[in-house]
Amino acid sequence: MHGSTQATAVVAPESYTRWTSAFGEGLYFKGSWQKGQTIRFMTPGRDGVVSDIAEDRPNEFISLRHFGYIVNGAEDTSSEAIRSWAPADENYSRESTIGAVGTAQAVVTPSPRRLVQRVLGGKSRR
């Protein structure tokens, strides 16, 4: 997954919802973007992904470690299905030059499409 964004644009709830609209309508998060905190990336249908903020260097780098799904509001972090892919890391780094907005590059393991489709029930818009 590659995309352009301003440095901290996705950490504000409204900006996150707008940024993730490419994957589905009404996506949101619950939790904190601070290192060591757990965050939940949610759909309006109460499904989502449970993650930890593994690293946070504001305006430079953020690393998410996904370790579970949320289905109908219930978290699963230990089933065989979860253990088959977790943990999955998603890393964003910001490159910038003077006068430029910069870019954010994500590196996700395993496949981000598989994670998104699993959470959205195969309804990925990409």
Within a domain: 76:
yes
Reported as half-sphere exposure (CB side, CA atoms, 13 A), residue 21 has a value of 6
Tokens of 29: 């998060």
Within a domain: 101:
yes
What global pTM score does this model have?
A: 0.72
Within a domain: 124:
no
| Cβ 1 vs Cβ 108: under 8 Å | yes
For residue 63, give its domain range.
2-119
Per-residue pLDDT tens digits for 16-69: 888 888 888 999 999 999 999 999 999 999 999 999 999 988 878 888 999 999
- The Cα–Cα gap between 61 and 59 comes to 7
Within a domain: 126:
no
CATH of the domain at 71: 3.30.530.20
* Counted domains in the chain: 1
Per-residue pLDDT tens digits for 86-114: 999 888 877 655 555 555 555 566 554 55
